[in-house]
Structure 1
Amino acid sequence: MKVVLATCDALPAGDGDDDALFDALAGDGVDVAWASWGADIDADLVVLRVTWDYTDRLDEFLAWCDRTPALANPVRVVRWNTDKSYLVELAAHGVAVVPTALVQPGDDPVFPDGEFVVKPTIGAGSRGVGRFSDHAEALAHLRSLGVPALVQPYQSNVDTHGETALVFFAGEYSHSFHKGPMLAGGLAESDTGLYVVEKLGGIEPTTAQVELARQVLDVAAELLALQRKDFLYARVDVVEGENGEPLLLELELTEPTLGFKHTGAEAAARLSTAIQAAASR
C-alpha cells in the first residue's frame, strides 16, 4: 500500500507535527512518502496535509485536486471548505456559529459595536486576519485585502480561554488541543510567510464542545451529501461565547494541523488505521 502525504515546496517534509503520523504509517508497513502538491502522484491514497501555499494559487490547487485520484479529504469537500463562507451556510442550518457576516469587495460593511475580527474567506494559517475596534482602520484593511472577507464580533473570552481544537478521524472523536489567543496585537503576523506560529497545548474538551463538534460534522456531511465517517480527518475549532456556550469558529477539512505533538502516540495510530481503511476501498 502506498500513501502520499501532500505538502508544499516550502515544507518538503511537513512542519514537524505530522512526524508521528509518518512514523505510525511506516510502522504499520505502509509505503509512505511526502510530495509537494502540483505533481502527478501515483498512490493508493493522497492525504492533504501541509499544502499551505494554496491560497495564493487556489484555482491551480483545485485543478490539481480534481485530477488527483484517491484524494483525502475528497475534492468536493476541499472546494467547499477552502472558502470560509461555509460558516454562513452552517449557521443557516442551525449550527451555533460565531456571528458571521460576508463582505464582498466594494461593499460598505456594517461593523459590529466593540471589537471585531476581519478575515479573508480564502486563507490559511491566520494570514490576513485582524482584530479591530476602529471602523476606519477595519475598512482600510478590508480594502487592502481586496477579496471577499468575513466580519465577526470578537469573542473576548478567547483572551483568557483561547480556542479548543477538536480532532476527528473517520467521523470519530480522537483528541483535542488548546490554541492560545493570536490577535492581542491586532493583526496576526506570520513568522514564516505561510502561517502564524500558534501557542498550542493539550486540553480536555467539555461535553458541550464535543456535542457541538459532532453536530457541525453531521450538518457539513449532510450539505455535502456525505456521512460523517467520510471525512478522513476533521478539526473543529470552538470558542467560548459571551454566555459561556461553545461556538464554532472554524471547521478545518482541508489541511489542518492535527496536534499530534500535543497528544499521545495513539492518536497517530488511529489516523494510520483510518488512512489504511480509506486506501483499501
Structure 2
Amino acid sequence: MMLDRIARVALATCADFPDLEEPERLVLDPLRDRGIEPVPAVWDDPAVDWSSFDLVVLRGTWDYAERLEEFMAWTRRADAVTTVLNPPDVVSWNTDKRYLAELAEHDVRIVPTTFLAAHDAPMLPTSSEYVVKPTVSAGSRDTARYLAGRDDAVARAHAERLLAAGREVMIQPYVDTVDDHGETALLYLNGRFSHAIRKGPLLESGAAPTTELFAQETIDPRTPSAADRTVADAVTAFLTDRFGTLLYARVDLLEGPDGPMVLEVELTEPSLFIQSDDAAPARLADAISGRLG
C-alpha cells in the first residue's frame, strides 16, 4: 500500500543496537519503497519525541527484562501519543512466561513447566536433564541446563538466587530432541503464517547461565511440518481471540513424544529472522504499512 504522505515509523531498539541489528535493517528499504520513513529509536532515550511518529514497532528492545517496570511504563507513555505494536497489554502478558499455563488451560500442548514464586522450595526433577530459568527473561539470559543428581546443588543455588532477587522461576525438562532436530520457530505477520526457521541447540549441560544480552543462535530456514502448523496455528487463533490480530507473533516449538510442544510464544521484541526468507522483509513492510492506512 502506498501512503498519501510520508509516514514516520519508529523501530524501537536498545542502546546496544541503536541502529538495529543487521538482519532487522532488511526491512528499512522495503518500508521506504512503501512511502514510509523508518527510524531506529532507542526506547529509553529521553531525547526521542515519540509523538512525532505515526507508529512505534518494538524490534530490538533486548534489555527490557532487567528493567521490566520501567519498560512497561514507557510502552504505555508512548502508546498514549501514538500506537505501539505489539500493544502494551500484549507485552505485559507476554513478558512473563507464566502465560504458558494459560495456553495449557486452553488445550495447547506446552513443554511441561513448574513455576516457583518467592518462598517456594525448588523441587528439582529426579531423573534426566532439566532447565532452570526466570519467568521474565529475553535471549536465554540467566538460563541453564542441569543433569539430575549431578548438578542439583548448583541448580538449586541458581533457582534460589533468582527467587532471592524477587524473580519467579520456571523449571522444565530438557527436551533432548532439540540436539538433533532443533527448535522450530514459526513466524506470523498480521495473523498470517509467513515463514519458519530452525534454531540449533543453545544450552550446554552444566554450563553457567549466560549473562550476555542474548545467546548467539544457529539459524537455518525450515519448512514446518503439518503438525507444527496445526499447533502454531492454534496458538495464533488463541492470541487473535484474546488480543485481536497482532502485527507479529513467533511460536517456538520443540518435538515431544506426542508431537510438537510450545516452548515459548514471542510477542514483544522477537527476532523475526527475515533474513531467512527472501520475501519476508517485504511481507513485514506490508504488515507495518497495513497498520498505517
TM-score normalised by L of structure 2: 0.89
Corresponding residue number in structure 1 for 2:116: 103
User: Structure 2 stretches of 5 or more lacking a match?
Assistant: 1-6
Contact between 1:157 and 1:242, CA under 8 Å: does it hold in 2?
Answer: no
Q: Residue 71 of structure 2 aligns to which amino acid in structure 1?
A: F
Shift of residue 105 of structure 1?
2.9
- Corresponding residue number in structure 2 for 1:233: 248
Q: Which residue of 2 aligns with 1:20?
A: 26
For residue 164 of structure 1, what is the aligned residue in structure 2?
184
**Alpha carbons 2:184, 2:224 under 8 Å: kept:** yes
Counterpart residue identity of residue 144, structure 1: R
Contact 1:238–1:250 under 8 Å retained in 2: yes
Specify the alignment match of 2:76 in structure 1.
Answer: 66
**How far does the alpha carbon of each residue in 1:218-257 deviate from its partner, in whole angstroms, 9 at most, with x for none?**
22333x3x33xx21001100010034x0000000000000
Q: In structure 1, the residue corresponding to 2:265 is in which secondary structure?
A: strand
Count the aligned residue pairs: 273
Distance 1:149 1:158 in 2: 22
Point out the structure with max Rg over C-alpha: 2
Please state how far the C-alpha of 1:186 moved relative to its aligned partner.
3.4
Of 114, 128, 144, 1:114 maps to 128
Letter aligned with residue 154 of structure 2: E
What does residue 262 of structure 1 align with?
A: 276
AA matched with 2:54: D
Report the Cα offset of residue 188 of structure 1.
6.8
Deviations 1:197-231 (A, max 9, x none): 11111111101101100111222333x3x33xx21
Which of 10, 13, 20 lines up with 1:7 in the alignment? Answer: 13
Equivalent-residue separation in structure 1 for 2:54 and 2:161 (angstroms)? 42
SS in structure 1 of the partner of residue 138 of structure 2: coil
Q: Which amino acid aligns with 1:128?
A: D
2:4 corresponding residue in structure 1: none
TM-score by length of 1: 0.93
Partners of 1:102 and 1:16 lie apart in 2 by: 35
2-side partners of 1:238 and 1:137: how far apart?
27
User: Who is 1:137 aligned against?
Assistant: 154
Answer yes or no: is 1:94 the counterpart of 2:107.
yes
Match of 2:38 among 32, 38, 62: 32
Compute the displacement of 1:135 (Å).
Answer: 2.4
Q: CA deviation at 1:190?
A: 4.6
The aligned residue for residue 3 of structure 2 is none
Q: Which AA in structure 2 matches 1:214?
A: D
**How many Å separate the matches in 1 of 2:108 and 2:256?**
14
- Identity over aligned pairs, percent: 43
Structure 1 residue 106, shift from structure 2 partner:
2.8
Moved more, 155-164 or 35-44: 35-44
2:168 is matched with which residue? 148
| Equivalent residue letter for 1:231 | L
| 1:182 matched residue in structure 2 | 202
Instruction: Verify the 8 A CA contact 2:146 2:205 in the aligned structure 1.
Output: no
1:50 is displaced (CA, Å) by: 0.3
Measured after TM superposition, the shift of residue 183 of structure 1 is 0.8
3-state secondary structure, aligned to 2:128: coil
Contact kept? 1:189, 1:196, Cα under 8 Å: no
Distance 1:187 1:37 in 2: 32
Aligned equivalent of 1:206: 225
State how far apart, in whole Å, the 1-side matches of 2:34 and 2:184 are: 30
1:52 maps to 2:62 = yes
Give me the CA root mean square deviation: 1.5
Whether contact under 8 Å (1:47, 1:71) holds in the other structure is yes
Q: Taking structure 1 as reference, are residues 187 and 221 closer, same or farther at Cα in structure 2, changes over 3 Å only? A: farther
Q: Which whole-Å CA distance do the structure 2 matches of 1:58 and 1:24 have between them?
A: 32
